Structures are given as C-alpha cells and as structure tokens.
Amino acid sequence: MKYAFISDIHGNAVALEAVLEHIKKQEVDKIIVLGDICYRGPEPKKSLELVRSLQTEVVKGNADEWIVRGVKSGEVPEDVLELMNKERAWAFTQLEPSDTDYLQGLPHSIQLDLEKVKVSVFHATPDSLFDIILPNEEDEIIEKSLMTTEAQVYIYGHIHVPYIRFLKGKIVINTGSVGLPFDGLSKASYAIVECNAGNIKTSIERVTYDKERVIELYKEVGYPNAEMMSNIIYHGKR
C-alpha cells in the first residue's frame, strides 16, 4: 500500500491542485489530510472542496479550529492577534455553515494499519493542535510529545518544515506544507509512505506550482494581509 500524506494547505488551492496531480503520477492508493485546510490563503472554499472531494480521512489542524471559533489571546503573539483575526474573519465569510460544521467535526488524530504497519497521524501532537515540535528537538521531547501511542510510524504537519527522523526503531515524519512552506524552498511539500510485506519506504516530495498566480489571487480577492502572505509564498519562509 502506498499512502500520500498532505497537510497545511492554508487556502492555497493552486498548490493543492499541483500536489494532487503529482500524487496521481505516483500511483498512490490513498491520500490522508493532516489539517489546516482553509485559513491564510486566497481560496479557502476551493481548497476545502478539493479536500472533501477526496472522500478520505482528515484530521483537524489549529487553523481549522481558528476558522470555527477565531484566534484567542495567548495562541499567537499579541501584536499579531488582531490581524490574524481579520484574516480569519475574511476566510470565514468565504465558507458556508456546512463547511465550518465539517471543520468542527474533524478528529484530532487517527490510527492506520498499512500492511500490518501501524501509523499514528495527527496535526501537531496527539494531544494538542498547537504544540510546536521542531526537527532538531531532543529525543526525549520527540518521544514524550509525538510517540504517545503504539505505532511504527508517526506523521504530523503544523511546523511547515518537512523531515524524516528515525528514533528507537520508529519513524517520525513531518509532511511539510502544501500551501505555505517555511523551510526556504518555495515548493509544495508532502510525504509518501509505502508498506509492503513489512517493509517501509518513506519520502518527502517537493512540487513546483504557480506562485505568481497565488500572489495575484491574494490581491484579486482583497485578502487582509496580502503583502506579507505573498512574500511568504514567494520566498518559502516567514
């Protein structure tokens, strides 16, 4: 079985379409979505429609939670709280009540069995939508934060920095971000896990998409924070 894991689309439907087209060529059996579907991009509705059309398992991200109920004090630096809620309010107006109901009802984690390989899937950690676990964390932090369920592979998103790490006979994977990469490479990112007769093959895939079109869309739709978000899209980092 070959699975693709995509996360952190952030309303960038242009990047998502490019990734889905790339996945088709990889002969993937199934796509799993790790959250942050709509918020901070110019096409929240289209991004959600594309995800829902996959008819697959989707876990909730912090940005999905924000779409439903807004960004609260203490969740982001106070100097950007007002702006981020303006962005959230804009995205909220682009969606239908059925869309926000869908986001609200998403699970925080799922467990998969890929050819007898147990895979734990979540957005940030199994217990939090907001905790940040970086690639260079100490082994003890990785174990305590991410490896809290019995599995052989742990897959998450949230930090927008893809990596694969091997720890005590287990595999930890961050998918990176489809729509808003932060690692300085302005290409969409996703992960593939292939399991066959107990063997495991993993990879991080990077996909080129039309960044200029996304930047145009931020302006066309009157996005509240178009300049900053366009810079992130162009440079692939904050």
DSSP symbols for 187-205: SEEEEEEEEETTEEEEEEE
All structural domains of the chain, each given as residue ranges with its CATH number in brackets, are 2-235 (3.60.21.10)
pLDDT digits over 21-51, tens only? 999 999 999 999 999 999 999 999 999 999 9
- Beta-bridged to residue 120, according to DSSP, are 111, 154
Measured at the CA of 230, the angle between CA 206 and CA 69, to 5 degrees, comes to 90
Cβ within 8 Å of residue 44, ≥6 positions away = 11, 37, 38, 67, 91, 94, 95
Dihedral of alpha carbons 83, 9, 93, 108, sign: negative
Helix (H) or strand (E) holding 6: strand 2-6
57: left (phi over 0), alpha (psi -120 to 50) or beta: beta
Determine phi and psi for 79, rounding to 5 degrees. Answer: -75, -10
pLDDT digits over 121-162, tens only? 999 999 999 999 999 999 999 999 999 999 999 999 999 999
Global pTM? 0.97
Question: Does residue 197 have a pLDDT over 90?
Answer: no
Alpha carbon distance 189, 173 (integer Å): 12
Where residue 208 falls among pLDDT bands split at 50, 70, 90?
very high
Cβ within 8 Å of residue 206, ≥6 positions away = 185, 187, 188, 189
- Under a CB-based contact definition with an 8 Å cutoff, are residues 44 and 91 in contact? yes
pLDDT digits over 186-195, tens only? 999 999 999 9
